Structure 1
């Protein structure tokens, strides 16, 4: 559970990144946190995890104040940073030391995820590539079984096969009572795994909705021409014609195009739900 009320935060005294910002989430969603570079996605995750303190306002995460960084709080939240720091240890030693810090850590799950990501316990964390380090820390995060997982640009550094594996293991590993927030600008990488979108801009939430509610009301199509289409909410030209967002006709739903929706919201298209 996340309850953020009227917080303000800035890296300088003269400019706030967030001003009277509110953000509430219950348990049980995989949330895509979207926004342009500099919108504050990474900062928000660090505030939620207690790594940054706010100037004003109230925050409760899993019924605790994050900035206190108490042991019970830390054992049930995990942040995967965009550039994780890993010590000069083998994977096996890291697991033995750090796995014990998480009350629900599942060593059997970790072994399976290592196999899925083609990693072995005798590998030294500082000797493997950035992409392999990223796969390791994602596997570790999922194995903690924390109530709240915060993934900051998790697919950065992953090749195409690894991105496919990431989507697979995420869906398989997350339980119904867990909340996962994925901050990303590579929306295609998470399009099929998230069930809710939160988009931020100018220090506030400009769009928040569950995927199924979006697809109940809007279709995402590629058409050769928009000349005869009615009520087009947003469109972009592409090599095949136009990508469009239009109201659902009857009960015919389509798969969501999150990148197109993101651009529509960023361009202040009239997407009402």
Structure 2
């Protein structure tokens, strides 16, 4: 679905953000794209969506070159940015004007999701708060049924109950032929959703693994002290230490935050 080979990209005359970047993603997963501020996560999402153009290298998405922005490509991809603008119109008019661009748009699913978020269909977009607008756009993005959903910081602006609803809706609305690519700093908001993790650092993908593979090979736990010789990485926590240990075939829930910190500090796990 997404195939990136030898990608090079920079903003105008700045130092190259990506040089010889390579990765491939297939449908049927929710992939989390993680990285520090300035790592280039949003730029990479925009390159995949065809909103930025590579200097060199190849990007193929759903059999298309995104930079060409062909109608057959645009109807299969939905990009939800962190910062957005909505027109001064009603929800009904927005849906009427924009749903036709997506052949698989599911109007019943849209109504269902707005009900879950407690947003009346008769609301005007310009009268809604940032959080309400975000919930509307999340609902719209899932209702498009696009093959590729690109969500940049989707939980920003959501309160705690809305984050729970978001996770339930996303998990329940996806088909096996869809791919969701989520970029976020709020790791805890999505760690129970994603089944693949990619970490972007210094212009490279330094980790690209299935969550199940990580949980099989490593154990994430807390310890009262650091006497064990098997500790791969550790951080201080209340009452002791959060640690990564060899898994030895014993599955454990992956601590995404601990994993991310370990990888970005140069710990080689794979």
> How far 1:188 moved relative to its partner?
0.5
Query: What does residue 232 of structure 1 align with?
Result: 231
How far apart, in 1, do the equivalents of 2:129 and 2:241 lie? 39
Structure 2: stretches of 5+ with no match in the other structure: none
256, 259, 269: which one aligns with 2:257: 259
Which residue does 2:240 correspond to in 1?
241
1:144-155 to 2 correspondence within 5 Å? 144-155=144-155
Q: Secondary structure at the match of 2:171?
A: helix
Alpha-carbon offset, residue 14 of structure 1: 3.9
Q: Is the Cα–Cα contact under 8 Å of residues 82 and 156 in structure 1 kept in the other structure? A: yes
Mapping of 1:70-89 within 5 angstroms? 70-89=70-89
Query: Residue 204 of structure 1 corresponds to which residue in structure 2?
Result: 204
5+ long unaligned stretches in structure 1: none
1:42-64 per-position Cα deviation (integer Å, ceiling 9, x unaligned): 00010000001111111111001
Give the drift of 1:207.
Answer: 0.5
Contact persistence 2:217–2:250 (CA under 8 A): no
Report how many aligned residue pairs link the two structures.
Answer: 270
Work out the CA distance in 2 between the residues paired with 1:252 and 1:8: 40
Determine the C-alpha separation between the residues in 1 that align with 2:40 and 2:267.
Answer: 22
TM-score, structure 2 as length reference: 0.98
TM-score after normalising by structure 1: 0.97
C-alpha distance in structure 2 between counterparts of 1:253 and 1:5, whole Å? 33
Structure 1 stretch 218-227 or stretch 145-154: which is displaced more?
A: 218-227
Residue in 1 that maps onto 2:124: 124
Distance in 2 (CA, whole Å) between partners of 1:252 and 1:3 is 33
Q: Structure 1 residues 23, 270: CA separation in 2 closer, same or farther (over 3 Å shift)?
A: closer
- Residue of 255, 268, 271 corresponding to 2:269: 271
| SS of 2:43 mapped into structure 1 | helix
Is residue 14 of structure 2 the alignment partner of residue 45 of structure 1?
Answer: no
The aligned residue for residue 113 of structure 1 is 113
User: What SS does structure 1 have at the residue aligned with 2:127?
Assistant: coil
Alpha-carbon separation, structure 1, partners of 2:232 and 2:112: 45
2: CA distance between counterparts of 1:14 and 1:33?
23
1:65-104 aligned within 5 A: 65-104=65-104
**Offset at 1:2?**
0.6
Aligned partners of 1:101 and 1:14: how far apart in 2? 36
Root-mean-square deviation (CA), in Å?
1.0
Task: Work out whether residues 34 and 197 of structure 2, in 8 Å CA contact, stay in contact via their aligned partners in 1.
Answer: yes
**Tell me, what secondary structure is at the counterpart of 2:222?**
strand
Aligned to 1:62: 62
Distance in 1 (alpha carbons) for counterparts of 2:114 and 2:86: 16
